[in-house]
Amino acid sequence: MTIWTAVDFVAVLALGPLLKGVATRTKSLLTGRRGAPVLQLYRDLARLWQKGAVYSTTTTWIFRVAPVAAIVTTLAAAALIPFDGREAMVQFAGDFVAFAGVLGLGRFLLILAALDTGSSFEGMGASRDATFAALVEPALFTSFVALALATGERSLGGMLGSGTASAWAHAAPSLAMVAVSFFFVLLAESSRVPVDDPATHLELTMIHEVAILDHSGPDLALLEYGGALRFAVFAALPIGVLAVRATVPPLAGLGVLVLGSLGVAVLAGVVESSMARLRLSRVPQFLAAATVLAALGVILQVLA
C-alpha cells in the first residue's frame, strides 16, 4: 500500500457529494433549467449536521445504529477497491465476496430501520429495496467472475487494478460487456433512474428515498453522504475496468480517476434526463439484462 493509495482513497471520500451534484446539474441543464449549484450537497450536509433530530417513539436502537452502519460499511467496501489502479487499502483473495457482504450488512440494517418505524410507506420502500438488491447480486458476482477469468486474479485489487492491463489484450469484448454491466449495477445500487427516481416527491413512487423517510438531522446527513460515497465506489468499478492506470504515473492516475468519475456522473445525469423510471415490474428485467451481459462476458472467454 503506497501513499497514493491513501491519497486516492481520501480524494474519493471528498469527491463523493460532488458527483451527485454533477449528475443533478447535468439533468437540469439537459431539461432546460439552470439547476442547483454543483456543490449543493456539501452545503446540505453541513446544514443537516447542525440540526437536531426527531425520533419516532416506535423506533428502537436499530433505527439509531443504521445510519452509522451504512457509512461504516460503505467505507469498508471502499477500502477494498483499488482507486489508484494498482492496489487497494485492504486486499485479499476472494475479497469481492467481502465487498458484496459488507454492503449487504449496511443494507440489512437500513431495511430493518425502515421496518422499525412501523410505517407502511417505509415498509413498501424496504420491500422493493430488498427485491432489487437480491437481483443485483447475481449481476455483480457474474461480472466479478468474468473479471477473474480475464485477469486471472482473485481479489478486487488485482481484478480492477494491475490485472486489467494485460486482460485488454485478449479479452476486450468481455471487458466491455463487464463495464456496461457495472454501469447498470451502479444505476441500481445508487437508486437512480431507471431503477428509482431520486427526485420524486411522492412517497408511493419512492423506493430508497422512502426507506429513509423518517431519519432527520445528523442521521440524514450520514445517510446522504453514504449514498454519495456509494455512487463514487460503484463508479470506480467501470472506471477500473475501462481506464488502465497501472502503467501511468500516480498523479496522472488520480486525474484519470477524477475525470472518469465526473464522466460517469454526467452519463448518469444524461440517462436520468432521457428516460423515465421503469415500471416496477420491468426493473427485474433490467437487472436480468445486467446479469446476462456479464454472463455473455464469461461465455465469450470460455469459448475463446
Partner 1 sequence: MTVFFIGLALVLLAGIAAVAVRSRYLAGLLIIGGCAAALVPAVRVLAGGAAPEVRLALPGPGGPWVFGIDPLSAAFLIVVLVPGLASALSGLRDSRPVGALLFAIELVALALVVTARAVVPFMAAWEVMAVIAYFLVIADHDRAEVRRAGLVYLVATHVGMLALLALFAIWAGAGGGLTFADLAARAPLLPAGGAVVLLLALVGFGVKAGLVPLHFWLPDAHASSPSAVSALMSGVVIKMGIYGIFRVVGLIGLPPAWFGWLVLGIGVSSGVLGVLWALAQHDLKRLLAYHSVENVGIILMGLGAGALGVTYHLPFIAVVGFAGALLHTLNHALFKSLLFLGAGSIAHATGTRTLDQLGGLGRRMPLTSVAFLIGSAAIVGLPPLNGFVSEWLVYQALLGSGGAGGAAMPAMLVGVAGLALVGGLALACFAKVCGVVFLGKPRSAAAELGHDEGGSVVGPLFGLAAACVAIGVAPVVAVRPALAVGAAVAGAPVAAAGLVGATAGMISLFALGVIALLGLGAVGAGVVRRRRPVGAGATWGCGYALPSPRMQYTASSFAAPLLALFGPLAGVHTSRSADGAAFHSEPRELVLDTALVPAWHRLRAGLARMRTIQHGRLWVYLVYLIAALLALLLYLTGFLGTVRG
Residue 43 vs 282, nearer CB to partner 1: 282
Distance of alpha carbon 69 from the chain centroid: 16
* Beta carbons of 239 and 261 less than 8 angstroms apart: yes
Which residues 234-253 are close enough to bind partner 1 by CB under 8 A? none
Beta carbon of residue 68, minimum distance to partner 1 (angstroms, whole number): 4
Helix (H, G, I), strand (E, B) or coil at 118: coil
Please identify, using beta-carbon distances, which residue of 65 and 271 lies nearer to partner 1: 65
CA distance 113 to 59: 8
Q: Which of residues 37-76 bind partner 1 (CB under 8 A)?
A: 51-60, 62, 64-65, 67-69, 71-73, 75-76
Would you state the cell numbers that stand for residue 251, as one nine-digit string? 498523479
Identified binder of partner 1 from the candidate list 35, 138, 250, 263, rule CB under 8 A: 138
* Distance in Å, CB of 124 to partner 1, minimum: 6
Closer to partner 1 at the Cβ: 87 or 219?
A: 219
State the Cα–Cα distance between residues 184 and 289, nearest whole angstrom. Answer: 9
Cell 440494517, residue located? 109
| Residues from 258 through 287 that contact partner 1 (CB under 8 A) | 280-281, 284
Alpha-carbon gap, residue 272 to 151, rounded angstroms:
33
Sign of dihedral through CA atoms 125, 128, 131, 137?
negative
* Residues 199-218, interacting with partner 1 (CB under 8 A): 203, 213-214, 217-218
Residues numbered 72 to 101 that lie near partner 1 (CB under 8 A) are 72-73, 75-76, 90, 92-95, 97-98, 100-101
Considering only residues 164 through 203, tell me which ones interact with partner 1, judged by CB under 8 A: 203
For residues 103 to 122, the per-residue mask of contacts with partner 1, x marking binding by CB under 8 A and - elsewhere, is: -xx-xx--xx-xxxxxxxxx
Cell 456543490, residue?
A: 39
234, 236, 240, 242 alpha-carbon torsion, rounded to 10°:
90
Binding-site size, partner 1 (CB under 8 A): 84
Omega before residue 198 within 30° of 0, cis:
no
Tell me how far apart the alpha carbons of residues 72 and 215 are, in angstroms, rounded to a whole number.
17
- Options 22, 23, 81, 149; binder of partner 1; rule CB under 8 A: 149
Q: Which is nearer to partner 1, 140 or 235 (CB)?
A: 140
Nearer to partner 1, 17 or 157 (CB): 157
62 vs 278, beta carbon nearer partner 1: 62
Does 152 contact partner 1 by CB under 8 A? yes
Separation CA 58–CA 285 (nearest Å)? 36
Separation CA 83–CA 115 (nearest Å) = 35
Calpha distance 34→56 (Å, rounded): 37
